Structure 1
Amino acid sequence: MTQREWLDRDFYAALGVPSTASAEEIKKAYRTLARELHPDANPHNTQVGERFKAVSEAYAVLSDPAKRKDYDRTRRLFRSGAFARTGFRPEAGTTTTAARAGSGGFDFGDLFGSHSPFTVGDPLGGVGDVLGDLFRRAGTRAASARPRRGRDVETETRLSFREAVAGMVLPLRVSGPMVCTSCHGSGARPGTRQRTCPHCHGVGTRNRNQGGLGFGEPCDDCRGTGSIVDTPCPDCQGAGIGDRTRTISVHVPPGVSDGQRVRLPAQGEPGLAGAPSGDLYVTVRVDPDPVFARSGDDLTVTVPVSFAELALGTVLSVPTLDGQISVKIPPGAQSGKTFRLRGRGVAHRGAAVGDLLVTVEVAVPPELDHEAAEALRAYARAEETSGFDPRAGWAGKR
């Protein structure tokens, strides 16, 4: 992708999204178009193949935050006529080679530096930063041809509360770009090889003049890779990378909490020019449990009890992750009191096990039959005779 193409092409229009589109909207538009225009779904249709290539190129720029920022600011710069307003003209005899950043001659980083007239009242917010970085990246080889680590990929999965506490091995289906399994990323049909580009001699860049300015741009013939594929791989159309769906095993550790991410090294998008793949991050969403809640590594459970059970004392059967356990409630325990059962909570690998916190709470019957109501009135009278006042000392009462 040359700098001239950055100026001439509208990547937003290629994807059918506005320039204000979010990263998620751009990704969604690309996936929709990629499915419609994929060569496998449109065999022998060269026009659709060219459209698929244009959509892929647009997504490659707009999905990368740094590239998208450079693309937007560079197009805004040239459309605004910033060069014409400065009155800048290259010196006679300035060669294309000298105009390349890092060549020892004319340097865009110096031209747009802090003492340059281009930065005075710059309405674009740092023209020098844009072009200085842009042309330095052109360097002696196209940025697209340099080894570059693949991008990290994020996805989500949902577990039940008990699955998250216990941990599990989860089969996860992932769709996205992967190294072509037929050509192993070379882009050449199996049994054939790439050859060195005869126009750039494997460097990946060629020198051009545009409006009196010298540009070191990626070679059009090899697209900045330095190599040419004469017989493209039929599975990936010579790209070396293709979209496919695969199933991978995700080891979710015991005790994972809602929103926690699990990292799978080298399971993200493939790298360029032999660079390593990115990582896959799986965000775990945990469904609530009807019985248990969680506080750090402790499990919490609320057990409904009757007034008589708390007043007289009782033994409760309380659920745990492993079954039932008996808990002795002493006479006179108050509603809302919490009992701690050691080692019955969440277990983390290599860490201490949390506790189970059992809270007792009085359940009041919504209705009473005649016999129960009379018995309760008799108890109330006996309670009053004994001198018990539940609100004694409350709110200043004596």
Structure 2
Amino acid sequence: MPPERDFYEILGVRRGASQEEIQRAYRKLARVNHPDVNKDPAAEDRFKEVSEAYSVLSDPATRRRYDAFGPNFRQVPEDVDPEAWARAQGRRTRAGAGAGRAGGGRATGQAGFGEGIDLDDLLEGLFSGRGARGGRAGGGWGPIPGADQEAEIELSVEDAYRGGRHSITVGSRTLRVEIPAGVSEGQRIRLAGQGGRGGDGAPAGDLYLIVRIAPHPRYRVSGRDIHVLLQVTPWEAALGATVAIDTPAGEAKVKVPAGTSSGRRLRLRGRGMPGPQNKAGDLYAEVRIMVPARLSEEERRLFEQLAAVSTFDPRRRR
């Protein structure tokens, strides 16, 4: 029968770890191995192993007993002194080593015990007929907190901008979720108590929604800034104009300075995605000059007139 694994090793924490470190380690491992999330047949066994380790190390009193008595802590009576136990274990180890050197057999008369006193019998008598009071002698799992879970929620740019109530289906459940205005790509929204169910009356875990912003035909979101293409006519770009532009919050006005070329970015401060404490992002309108696909006779005449009188050459080096 393989030796029992150390509970600290199972959770991947040091023996002096704080309760917060132990809880973080458990939540991380339980989330990965929970049977509702991980369909690997071995995941359930790992989840039980992690849960048992957490149930022991998360209780300060039980953890002290585990630190003192090791894997046998459930069988050791409550009134046994940890230091006396450690001394007895050390004597038992030395006695066993002495018996091995003598050619085998059971150790007698070792480590200060009287001649003819069998150490194994003494220890057996010490614990005979006494249960593991205060421990879980039956090996039951006890209350196990539910595991945290994650799910993705995809939002349009407009929905992410405005926020509001949305429905999301997780497994067999449909939840109504309040989305904060101005959520960003990758942001986590915590739904307390909506994760995996706890066992034996323990609380459920939390559900974390990971926000994904869907691609948009007009807007590109970068952090809290929004980028949009602004199409203008040649005369608007040359002469300057104030033109309308669509934003997730509705129509806005943007001033195009005279002499604007394609590719110029015009900044609308604070018109990007909302942020905490009124720290909204900005909206950047990138200018693109458009020309008519077909010219009327009058338009052609005017363009030809412009070409005849203009000395502007965009290809000439300055």
Scaled to the shorter chain, the TM-score interval is: 0.5 to 0.7
Match of 2:251 in 1: 324
Q: What does residue range 1-398 of structure 1 map to in structure 2 within 5 Å?
A: 60-62=44-46, 66=50, 101-102=72-73, 103=76, 104=85, 140-141=136-137, 144-175=140-171, 245-366=172-293, 368=295, 372-373=299-300, 375-384=302-311, 388-393=312-317
- Any idea what SS the aligned residue of 1:335 has? coil
Q: Could you tell me which runs of 5 or more consecutive residues in structure 2 were left unpaired when the two chains were aligned.
A: 4-31, 52-68, 77-84, 94-134
Contact 2:245 2:254 (C-alpha < 8 Å) held by counterparts:
yes
Partners in 2 of 1:24 and 1:152 — Cα distance?
Answer: 9
Give how far 1:281 is off: 0.9
- Any idea what SS the aligned residue of 1:61 has? helix
The CA deviation string for residues 81-122 of structure 1, in whole angstroms up to 9 with x for no partner, is xxxxxxxxxxxxxxxxx9953444669xx9xxxxxxxxxxxx
- Any idea what SS the aligned residue of 1:381 has? helix
- Any idea what SS the aligned residue of 2:309 has? helix
Partners in 2 of 1:62 and 1:271 — Cα distance?
Answer: 16
Contact 2:36 2:196 (C-alpha < 8 Å) held by counterparts:
no
- Any idea what SS the aligned residue of 2:235 has? helix
- Any idea what SS the aligned residue of 2:303 has? helix
Structure 1 residues 64 and 355: CA distance shift in structure 2, 3 A: farther
Give how far 1:25 is off: 11
Contact 1:149 1:277 (C-alpha < 8 Å) held by counterparts:
yes
Partners in 1 of 2:138 and 2:205 — Cα distance?
Answer: 21
Give how far 1:306 is off: 1.8
The residue type paired with residue 391 of structure 1 is: R
Partners in 1 of 2:139 and 2:159 — Cα distance?
Answer: 45
The residue type paired with residue 317 of structure 2 is: G
- Any idea what SS the aligned residue of 1:149 has? coil
The CA deviation string for residues 5-60 of structure 1, in whole angstroms up to 9 with x for no partner, is xxxxxxxxxxxxxxxxx979995758xxxxxxxxxxxxxxxxxxxxxxxx8xx653
Partners in 1 of 2:138 and 2:269 — Cα distance?
Answer: 62
Match of 2:14 in 1: none
Q: Please, what is the CA RMSD of the aligned residues?
A: 4.0
Structure 1 residues 65 and 320: CA distance shift in structure 2, 3 A: farther
Structure 1 residues 321 and 390: CA distance shift in structure 2, 3 A: same
Partners in 2 of 1:390 and 1:167 — Cα distance?
Answer: 46
- Any idea what SS the aligned residue of 1:170 has? strand
The residue type paired with residue 288 of structure 2 is: E
Structure 1 residues 277 and 28: CA distance shift in structure 2, 3 A: closer
**Could you say which structure has the greater relative contact order, defined with CA pairs below 8 angstroms and 6 or more residues apart?**
1
Partners in 2 of 1:3 and 1:142 — Cα distance?
Answer: 20
The residue type paired with residue 101 of structure 1 is: N
The residue type paired with residue 162 of structure 2 is: A
- Any idea what SS the aligned residue of 2:277 has? coil
Give how far 1:250 is off: 1.8
Question: How many pairs does the alignment contain?
Answer: 221
Contact 2:168 2:177 (C-alpha < 8 Å) held by counterparts:
yes
Structure 1 residues 100 and 380: CA distance shift in structure 2, 3 A: closer
Q: Could you tell me which runs of 5 or more consecutive residues in structure 1 were left unpaired when the two chains were aligned.
A: 5-21, 31-54, 68-97, 111-138, 176-244
